[in-house]
Amino acid sequence: EESKTANLEEEEEEETEVINIRLQNVVCSLSLETRLDLDKIAQSVRNAEYNPKKFQALIMRIREPKTTALIFSSGKMIVTGAKLLTDSVNAAKKYVAIINHVGFPEAKFIQSNYRIQNMTATCDFGFPIRLEGLIYAHSSQSCYEPELFPGLVYRMAVPKVVLLIFVSGKVVVTGAKSEESLQSAVSNIYPILLEFRKKN
């Protein structure tokens, strides 16, 4: 019986090592500490679009790192699309530099104003999951309507994230505000998914 337990532990360890969390999107916000004339920026920058009748923010894109910024006249900026935390910070700094260059030298990147609002990541647990069993056992924090969406929506309380769990064993984690909370969410859901692993 001891050898069986040891084998199970080895199997679980091997499976845990396989789980690779891939960051797909980082959304951050920051204040540039000054008001901005969005019309002036739109006229001066090629990669910007501004239509205040449709949307109150100026939309600017850069290729490296490939991101999009929503820039508001209040000086608030939201950057989305980065696949690494360092890219998110670098992109924010580049947008500030562009804004400085077109006549707003008082716009600043201040690290303490930089906040991660959302991180989305994907991972593959490498085994199929019985979603019907999972929804039955965890109905208070789960929603599963296969006619509308193929994934089970699992709302984790700690860390506060939402996981989209698919039969294939693939999972999308969203709502995290740090890499630690992404890691923690994956570690917390792993034993639950293992319990509802489909037997071949």
178, 119 in Cβ contact below 8 A?
yes
Structure confidence at residue 151 as a pLDDT band (50, 70, 90): very high
Neighbours of 163 (CB within 10 A): 24
The pLDDT, as a whole number, for residue 199 is: 83
Alpha carbon distance 57, 106 (integer Å) = 19
Q: Which residues contact 16 (CB under 8 A, 6 or more apart)?
A: 190
User: Among 2-6, 82-86, 136-140, 189-193, where is mean pLDDT lowest?
Assistant: 2-6
Alpha carbon distance 14, 43 (integer Å) = 56
Task: Check the CA dihedral 6-7-10-12 and report its sign.
Answer: negative
Q: Is the pLDDT of residue 51 over 60?
A: yes
**CA angle (86, 90, 42) in 5-degree steps:** 145
Q: Write out the H or E segment, with its range, that includes residue 159.
A: none
The pLDDT, as a whole number, for residue 19 is: 82
Q: Is the pLDDT of residue 11 over 80?
A: no
165, 131 in Cβ contact below 8 A?
yes
Alpha carbon distance 122, 172 (integer Å) = 4
Output the pTM of the full model. 0.84
- Per the prediction, the chain carries an average pLDDT of 90
Q: What is the CA radius of gyration of the chain?
A: 22
